[in-house]
Amino acid sequence: MAAVAPQPHVLAGLDRWRDLPLTQQPTWPDLDHVARVTERLATLPPLVFAGEADVLKARLAAAGRGEAFLLQGGDCAETFVDATADNIRNKIKTILQMAVVLTYGASLPVIKMGRMAGQYAKPRSSNDETRGDVTLPAYRGDIINGHDYTPKARIPDPDRLLEAYHTSASTLNLLRAFTTGGFADLRRVHEWNRGFMANPSYARYEETAAEIDRAIRFMAACGADFDALRTVEFFSSHEALLLDYERPLTRIDSRTGLPYDCSAHFLWIGERTRQIDGAHVDFLSRVRNPIGVKLGPTTTADEALALMDKLNPAGEPGRLTFITRMGAGTIRSALPALVEKVSAVGSPVTWVCDPMHGNTITSDSGYKTRRLTDVLDEVRGFFEVHRALGTVPGGLHIELTGDDVTEVLGGSEEIDDAGLAVRYETLVDPRLNHQQSLEMAFQVVQLMRA
Ligand code: PEP
Ligand code: MN
């Protein structure tokens, strides 16, 4: 089949963002250097195939109808040094283990998506960071500058875009190998969950775990052994923040002549960059991937409606996901009006809950942290609101890691304020550790059944 050429206005539109208000970008010291790097990026192979993004769009459409459930999880900020086999494996394991529990609890297919293989750019509340009498540019993620508190590390370096590309490629390669090569076999993942349940701290989940165990043994006794047990679909995602990276990785799909941002399957617009006339909304309105927008507690219904209009004018199912991040204390009052007004329009939206970003606090000892109880309470509120309105709670967006870090307060193996110091490693936001993530999955199952 001959490749379909793009319409000239489609190509021109992909650069329209350059004339619009563009926030949360670095101040590059050398624009010629940026140009050389973006030209190089534009010649490198796409990281994902447009057809895979279309599959994901169909899956997210199903989640919007209540026929699937999204589990999107990973670091707040990935780093280059942490893109090791062990870290990647532990994160995938955690997501797969949670997914098994949720699949059982919801009796629905769970769409597995990592905040992985590209989550390197961070929005910041201030351009600078001051420690003592030294002020330096804020850390904006490994794709832009280094975290070390030195003038040299904090200078934005365009070569980091290439390192982000190559690190994403190797991460994605391992993700694909793990999820299709036998590592993710359902029976294996179930064995890992049995290992988790061996710890008496988690006795309260015994009943659900035993039910899952019986279901798996029943399937085995029936001789069930099919591809769906052995391999899983796993999608990549990140915040499309740094447009000097997203633009050169945007490619024309030869099947349709339409542009896809091939840096990941799913891209989202953050709470700080979702201005309707801004560069980020314009750029993502022009690529065909499934996309998300974070909606915080101050989002008005008019803003949400304008975003729908601009980002999904054709009302394509699965195209647009609203990721609400209201805070446990606010979701029950702020979400209903938004959902009601959006639903009244009739254009499909997949609603996902990010119970992390509205619940960030500073602990007495000075750590940026969250309480697991608040995180779970926001999820509870999310289910309550959607149930009351007859709309669909379509999934969860979680900051987590597969390791035993101590960044979030609480859990059955209680992490208290003093405990945060033991292993606090995140460079930006606090993540659920491996055990807290699994506990969350078990508790969400209880909510789904309530
Ligand atoms: C994030 O997801 O890490 C983030 C910065 O979220 P938000 O845009 O919702 O604040
Ligand atoms: Mn974050």
pLDDT at 228: 83
Q: How far, in Å, from the CA of 357 to the mean position of ligand 2? A: 6
CA distance 283 to 264: 15
Residue 226 lies inside a defined structural domain of this protein: yes
Q: Does residue 1 belong to any structural domain of this protein?
A: no
- Residue 241 is predicted with a pLDDT of 98
pLDDT value of position 227 = 83
Q: Confirm or deny that 325 is annotated as ligand binding.
A: yes
User: CA-CA-CA-CA torsion for 256, 261, 266, 269, nearest 10 degrees?
Assistant: -130
Res 229: pLDDT: 87
Could you tell me which of 178, 53, 192 has the C-alpha nearest to residue 111? 53
Contacts of residue 273, Cβ cutoff 8 Å, sequence gap at least 6: 23, 24, 123, 241, 279, 280, 281
Supply the residue whose CA is at minimum distance from atom 4 of ligand 1: 270
Domain hosting residue 160, numbered range: 8-449
ipTM value greater than 0.95 = yes
Q: Is residue 3 one of the residues assigned to a domain?
A: no
Sorted by sequence, the CB contacts under 8 Å of residue 302 that are 6+ apart come out as none
Q: Which pLDDT belongs to residue 426? A: 96
Ligand 1 atom at minimum distance from 270 CA: 8
Task: Count structural domains, the chain.
Answer: 1
Q: Is 140 in the pocket of ligand 1 (CB under 6 A)?
A: no
For residue 2, being part of any structural domain is answered with: no
Amino acid code (one letter) for 386: H
CATH number at residue 354: 3.20.20.70
Could you list the mean pLDDT of each consecutive 10-residue stretch along the chain, which spans 450 residues? 89 97 97 98 98 98 98 98 97 96 94 98 97 97 98 98 98 96 91 93 93 92 88 97 98 97 99 98 98 98 98 98 98 98 97 98 96 98 98 98 96 96 96 96 91
> Ligand 1, residues 143, 239, 428: which to mutate, most atoms within 8 A of Cβ?
239
- Has residue 31 been placed in a domain? yes
Is 381 within the bounds of a domain?
yes
Any atom of ligand 1 within 6 Å of the Cβ of 76: yes
pTM here?
0.98
In a domain, 174, yes or no: yes
